[in-house]
Structure formats: C-alpha cells, structure tokens
Amino acid sequence: MKGSKTSIKIPSKVIIPIIAIIIGAIFFYIGVFQYGFWDSEASKPTKGFFPVIIATALIGLSILALVQGIKSEKVEFNFKNWLVPLGLLAIIASSYIFGLVLSIAAYIVIWLKVYEKQTWKTTIITLAVAMFIVVGCFQLWLGIDFPLGIIFDLILG
Amino acid sequence: MDNLMMLIQGFSVVFSLENLLVCLLGAVLGLIVGAMPGIGSLAGVALLLPLTYKFNPTTAIIMLGALYYSNMYGGAYSAILLNIPGDSPAVMTALDGYPMSTKRNRPGQALFTANMASFIGGTIGIIILTFMGPALADIGLHFGPAEMAVLLLVAMTSIGWLVGSNPTTGVVLSLLGILIATIGMDLQTGSPRFNFGNIYLLGGVKFIPFVIGTVGFAQVMRLMDEKDDKTESKITEKLTIKGSLLTGHDFKRLLPPAIRSGFMGTFVGVLPGAGATTGAFLGYAMQRAFKSEEPLGTGALEGIAACEAANNAAAAGSFAPLLALGIPGSGTGAVLLGGLMMWGLNPGPLLFTNEPEFAWGLIASLFLANILTLIIALGIIPVLLKILAVPVKVIIPIITVVCLVGSYSDTYSLYGVIIMLISGVCGYVLEKSGYSTAPMLLAFVLAPLLEDNLRKAFVISGGSTSAVFFNSGISITLFVVLVAIVATPIVRFILTKLGVLKNKKETN
C-alpha cells in the first residue's frame, strides 16, 4: 500500500471482487439454509429462491473480476477526497448537540473560511444559499423537521 | 390519431397553473445544475428528487422530466465557453463549440446553435415518442411474466455490459444492486429478509438516500480533485442575446445536421445502455460523412448542431422503453423510474391504459419543457459566464448539504443519512476503481419487478426452467440474447488467455 504523503495506493480492483464474493456467500448461505430455495409441497419458489440465484452468479463473476484484477495496477486515493465524508460525519455528530441546521451552518463557515481560505463575502453568500436550501426549501416549504439537538431540546422543554 | 387526441388530453393536464410553474422550476433548476461543470444529469436529477415530495405524482414527474430534459441543454454551456464538458454527452460539443467561441470569436452564436439544435432534436424525439411509446406498450402487452423476466435480465445485463470499460465489473455491480434490493421485506410472503436483526433494514435500503449517495455524494468526493482547477473563460467580450442571434445562413447550416441527428438520436436513446452520450458520439460521427462549411473540430457550427440535437433526441427517445416497458435506458432513466415507483406508479405496458392522464401528461410536459427551456436558455446567455464562474470549492459544501438534507428528508431520521454516506463512499471507491455504478442503480430499481416476474413464471411453469425460458418465441429470442451478453466477457477472457485475442493494453 504505497503512496505519497497525500495519497495511498490500494489494490481495490482485488479487494472489491473479494468483498463481492463474501457478500454473495452470505446471501447464498442465508438464502439456502434459512429461507430455503424451493417449496416442493406447494411447488413454488420460496423467498430465498431469487437471492440464491443472484448470489451464485455474483460469486462466479466476482471470481472472474478477481482474476482480471490481480494484474491490475493499484488505485491511488487522495486523502483530501475523504475530507468530504469526514465533514459529513462531523455534522452528524454535532447535530445531536447543536441540531442539524446550526451544525450545517457551522460546517459551511468552517469549510470555506478555515479549510478553503475563502473571503468572508464568499463564505456569507454561500451560507445564505445553503440556508435558503435547508430552511427555505426543506424546512418551510417541504415541512421537514430537522433535529434540534440536546441543547435546544432542553431550552424548549 | 388516437395518440394525438390523448396528447391533447395530456396538455390539458399540464396546463394547470401548478404544473406549469413546476415545469418552469424544473427547467430552470435543470439548466443551472446542468451548466455547472462536474455535476451532470444523473447527479442533478438524484439531488433534486427530494424537492418533488411536495407534489402529487403527475406534478412531481412533470418536474423531474423537465429537470432531466433541461439538464441536457445545460451540459453544453461549460463545454462551449470553458472547454469543460458539463456532462459526458457534451464532450463532443466541446470539439467544435470551444473553437467556435474562442478562435472564431462567436461564443453567443455557438450557444445559440447548441440551444436551437437541442430544441430541434428534442422536438423530433418527443414527436417520435408520442407514437412509439404506445406502440411499444402494445407489444409489451403480449409479454407474460416469463418474457418480462427475461427482458428485464437482458436490460440489466446489457447496461452492465455496455456502460464502463469492463463488462464483467458492470455485471458484478448489477448483481450487487439486485442483492441490495432484496434486503427488507419479501413482498410475496410479507416476511423479513436479509435485515440481519436491524429494524431499520426491515423497510429495505431506501431508494432516495441510496441514489443520492451513490451518485451525488460520490460526485462531491470526486470534485475534490478538481477544486483547484481554474474555470476562467478566455472570452472577454460581453455576451448579449442580440449579439448571439444566428443569421439566416447559420440557420441553413444548422437545420440539416440537427434534423438528421434528431432522428438518429431518438432511436439510439431507445436502446438500453446507449443513451445521450452514445447519441452525441454517433451524431458527430455521422456528420463526418456529410459536408460542413468549415472542417469539423475547428469551430464548425454543423458539429455543434449534430451532437447537441442527437443527445437531446436520445434523452427523449429513452422515455419510450421507460414508460412503455418499465425499462430505463440509462442511470438517469433508472433514477426517474425509481421516482415513478416512489409515487406508486408502475411503468410498463399497462401504464398507457391504466394511467393515461399521467403517461400523456408526462409526454405533453416534455413538449412544454422543450419550449420553456429554449426560452430560458436564450434568456440566461448574458449571465452564463457568471454562473460558470462559481468555483468548484464553493459548490462542494453546498452539494454536501443538499445530499445530507435530501437523504434526511426521505426517512425523517439519520438512518437515511447513514445510508447515503455509506453508498456515497462505496460509489466513490467503485468509480475510482473503474466500476461504473449506473448498472447497480438500474438493477436496484428493477430488481423487485424482476423477482416478482421470475417467481410468477416459475409458479406458472411448476418449476420447469425450460418452460420459463423456452415457452414462446419471444422468450427464446430474449434468452439467446441474454446468454450472448453474459457469455461474451467470459469467452473474451478465455480467448485472451489462450492468445487468440489480443489484450487491450497490448494493442494500445
């Protein structure tokens, strides 16, 4: 797993088929041994019938993809791309305390001002657009209630 | 004649104030999202899907149709002004669009050409759809569960086979998409299946968070690679509507390629897996066989017209199998189909009979969206450079927030957000590793229909496989096609190993 300081090289073309084989095997096992394949008395398929067929095909083709992937080059993943899911996880964690809307606002400001080093003008305009989407479109227009978080729940009783 | 009468009825559905406004909103949003480099129609439709919650099914789908359709217009703008295609069909537009706007110093005319050609191609496509849709549905009425099951298998595997560089990986993801769709409740017995003791999974993997993650969130992760790219235009002159108008001579040059590509693109759009990108490529390739006033690739108006007309016609054509057979031709079509199913509508041969108001309303709305989008597209020419100047680093947090609230609003819980996050990360890793996720989305949407038909077919046949796959001429033909599709990558792999076929890498 070599790479530079800002990236890592992973044999994902080998790892993905292996994961697919494992998923196929799990669905195959549960399908055959827990749900059954065919109800011979009623002469009809059971709920495991369809997943078992698909899982079998998945295992077979994943083995082929694995063989093809072994000689493939490793894929380079940059660390910066993973800041996006990390940011999302931070919003989720923060929403339990400060609520989703406030957490989103804080995320926009931190992302643009601290990470991207944008001007206050750009940051505030972007924040206004994001708040229009979240509060204007989703909360007011579509009527979606976003979680308020522990602090606001306590204040509002 | 019946079709025209039904179409007029469809217009009566569309011409309500709410539907008109929604069609307009869809057209504006689609145009803006399509114009922004790096988002594309698939992510655009997926991200805006939650906005349809407010409406009834017909209105919701009218908005989605307008959105999808106008997206096709928007993709060309960044290709013409920045040499950055907004989506894959616009790759061909950039070949002549950018030289026409920079070397020939006619950026406004290049945009006008793209808009007019899109309008002409789209109009041809929708007119053909008006007649082809019901005709396809009539053929579909002859399909029983067995034929439908094999047809669905062909659609899924052919898209897995055609999309992306490696057929094996496409089919692997199709199968994975089917297995993900089996999680939740078994609809025929009403009992839980593959929920692994998790109460959230009893309701299955939700479509909207899954699609927003796989397409939208994965796209945001990819955009991080482009966030420092400069999107400044070399065009210094101010764009105006008056300065963008085409001359009579320009129109004479534009019409023949637009009409040719309009017809060709529509039929390409009907084929599974082909879609707007293939339409644009073939439209441009076809133009090479005809005379152009300037050589293609140097800013020829004919080049822009050929590919823009073809991709919009293909977008319209792809509605025919989607509505009449319930089979989408692309990832975006799969998202639209998922949207239809979300609203309790089942596209297929009976749609035109059971839900004529909806089916014809949608087709009529495409006509309306085509006209509205043309007007808006011409109107926004003066501000296009400003829209395109929005930096990617500012778009990233906004799309992240849209993904978050869109997936939350589907489940009213963070479960939707978690599904979106997991599918987004997986989608990013898969695409980065050369696995196209479009077949997975398509398979995920079609899986319940496939399982239902397959199980019915086996009940009818009493468990006889031969009675399912070889009970009619249609089944046999489709089964042979299916076997050919599935066997091709395996045979190719074996032949390559044996040295009969040359490895792609060696030949390059």
**Cβ contact A123:A112 at 8 Å:** yes
- Residue-wise pLDDT for A22-49, tens only, equals 999 999 999 999 998 888 888 888 999 9
Distance from CA of B79 to the nearest CA of A (A): 25
* Interchain pair B401, A133: CB under 8 A: yes
What H or E segment, with its residue span, contains residue A78? strand A75-78
* Residue to substitute from A71, A84, A126, interface B, most B β-carbons within 10 A: A84
Which residues of chain A make contact with B51, given a CB cutoff of 8 A?
137, 142
Residue where the block lists tokens 């204040």: A155
Most confident of B140-154, B380-394, B419-433: B419-433
SS3 labels along B239-273? CCHHHHCCCHHHHHHHHHHHHHHHHHHHHHHHCCC
Other Cβ atoms less than 10 A from the Cβ of B314: the count is: 35
Residues B430, A54: C-beta atoms closer than 8 Å = no
User: Look-up: residue for tokens 């989408």?
Assistant: B328
Closest by alpha carbon to B275, among B327, B223, B207, B325?
B327
pLDDT higher than threshold 50 for residue B284: yes
Amino acid in the structure at residue B487: A
CB < 8 Å to B168, chain A: 61, 64-65, 68
**Amino acid B505: pLDDT:** 46
B327: region left, alpha or beta (phi > 0 left; psi from -120 to 50 alpha):
beta
pLDDT at A1 over 60: no
> Per-residue pLDDT averaged across B195-211, rounded?
89
Taking residues B164-185, report their average pLDDT.
87
Non-local (6+) Cβ contacts of B324 within 8 A are B132, B133, B134, B135, B136, B137, B140, B347, B348, B349, B351, B352
pLDDT at A94: 95
Structure-block tokens of residue A136: 């204007």
pLDDT in tens, B208-265: 899 889 988 998 999 898 877 766 666 777 788 888 888 899 999 999 999 999 999 9
d(CA B212, CA B43): 7
The conformation of residue A39, written as its DSSP 8-state character, comes to E
Are B38 and B223 in contact by the 8 Å Cβ rule? The answer is yes
* B125: number of Cβ within 10 Å: 34
| Rounded Cα gap, residues B173 and B165, in angstroms | 13
Cβ contacts of residue B109 below 8 Å, gap of 6+? B100, B244, B245, B246, B250, B301
Both ends of chain A: CA-CA distance in Å?
Answer: 52
Distance in angstroms between the alpha carbons of the first and the last residue of chain B: 53
Rounded CA separation B451/A73 (Å):
37
In angstroms, rounded to a whole number, what is the distance separating the alpha carbons of residues B317 and B323? 11
Half-sphere exposure of B377 (CA within 13 A, CB side): 35
Query: Hunting for tokens 């829209």 — which residue is that?
Result: B387
What residue of B is the nearest CA neighbor of A121?
B394
Report the distance separating Cα B337 and Cα B330, nearest Å: 10
SS3 category, A38? strand
Give the 3-state secondary structure of B189-235: CCEEECCCCCCHHHHCCCHHHHHHHHHHHHHHHHHHHHCCCCCCCCC
**Does residue B370 surpass a pLDDT of 50?**
yes
Query: Is residue A7's pLDDT more than 80?
Result: yes
- Overall average pLDDT of the B118-135 stretch: 90
The beta strands (E) that lie in B74-183 are given as none
**Interface confidence (ipTM) of the complex:** 0.93
User: Where does the pLDDT of residue A4 fall: very low under 50, low under 70, confident under 90, or very high at 90 and above?
Assistant: low
Q: A102-107: long-range contacts at Cβ-Cβ below 8 A with a sequence spacing of 24 or more?
A: A102/A149, A103/A149, A104/A130, A104/A134, A104/B401, A104/B404, A104/B405, A105/A130, A105/A131, A107/B397, A107/B400, A107/B401
Lookup: tokens for A123:
């940051």
Q: Do A12 and B432 touch (CB under 8 A)?
A: yes
- State which H helix or E strand residue B186 sits in: strand B184-186
Q: What is each CA distance from B241 to A47, B237, B353, B374, B382, in whole angstroms?
A: 61, 13, 44, 13, 7
CB B74 within 8 A of CB B34: yes
| Cβ–Cβ contact A124 with B under 8 A | no
A51–chain B Cβ distance below 8 A for any pair:
yes
Does residue A109 contact residue A127 with C-beta atoms inside 8 Å? Answer: yes
Confidence of residue B165 (pLDDT cuts 50, 70, 90): low
What residues contact B264, with CB distance under 8 A and at least 6 apart?
B279, B282, B283, B286, B310, B313
DSSP H/E element including B184: strand B184-186
- Asked if the Cβ–Cβ distance from B421 to A89 is below 8 Å, we say yes
Is the predicted pLDDT of residue B507 greater than 50, yes or no? no
- Residue B64, strand partner residues: none
**Where residue B489 falls among pLDDT bands split at 50, 70, 90?**
low
Chain B residues in contact with A63 (beta carbon < 8 A): none
pLDDT band at A79 (very low <50, low <70, confident <90, very high): very high
Residue B361 clears pLDDT 80, i.e. is over it: yes
Residue B311: which of B77, B90, B163 has the closest Cα? B90
Q: Rounded to whole angstroms, how far apart are CA atoms B54 and B16?
A: 16
For residue B413 the two structure tokens come to 């819980």
